[in-house]
Amino acid sequence: MPAHIFNEISEWHLVDQLRKSEMFGFLREVTRDCTDPEAIKRLTTLIQEQQVFAILQSVEQAKIALASYNSTRVKYDFKDIHINDPITRKEFENMVANRRTDIQTCIEECLNRAQLKPEEVDAVLKVGGSSNNRFIDNILKSNFQTKIEDDNVFTSVVAGLSIAASEFFEG
């Protein structure tokens, strides 16, 4: 299965477009020639029945649980799709290992562009649920030690947008 299909279905704003595209013709063709036609039928169900977001939410819930626990389960049940699979924090960290390098490179590039050393940074603000993942927290701590602020992880983006909107409309 081409990787672009999985990339496209994981982008919520593209899913409706997929339902209107030639994707289903491609999936019918693949179903005839593949070794696991049932898997393709389940993928088709996800797209046709607009369940992509729901299954991604199940994965997100497991990811959130792994920030606090060593293991959890990914659970999803819809029509012919039944998932109840265990996942450990270690397995998750292995799955996202390449992201660690990307994040570290991004931090280094940001510091270089700003012409700063890590010790010259006053504070690092964690924003969004993914910033609570232990592996991200470890990267931040290894670069910035104790300068990490995580008071408003889930609301800081909205707070920032409301400040920007108020300045935009008042100014």
Instruction: Check whether residue 56 and residue 115 sit in a common domain.
Output: no
**Residue 162: predicted pLDDT:** 84
3-state secondary structure the chain: CCHHHHHHHCCHHHHHHHHCCCHHHHHHHHHHHCCCHHHHHHHHHHHHCCCHHHHHHHHHHHHHHHCCCCEEEEEEEECCEEEEEEEEHHHHHHHCHHHHHHHHHHHHHHHHHHCCCHHHCCCEECCCHHHHCHHHHHHHHHHHCCCEECCCCCCHHHHHHHHHHHHHHHC
Instruction: Check whether residue 66 and residue 17 sit in a common domain.
Output: yes
Confidence of residue 170 (pLDDT cuts 50, 70, 90): confident
Domain that holds residue 65: 3-85
**Residue 130: predicted pLDDT:** 75
Question: Based on the structure, what is the number of domains in the chain?
Answer: 2
Contact yes or no for 52/10 (Cβ under 8 A):
yes
Higher pLDDT, 129 or 35: 35
Instruction: List pLDDT tens digits, range 108-145.
Output: 999 999 999 999 999 888 887 777 778 888 899 999 98
Instruction: List pLDDT tens digits, range 2-11.
Output: 777 777 777 7
Q: Which of 85, 115, 145 is the last residue of a domain?
A: 85
Instruction: Check whether residue 72 and residue 12 sit in a common domain.
Output: yes
Instruction: Check whether residue 46 and residue 10 sit in a common domain.
Output: yes
**Residue 12: predicted pLDDT:** 65
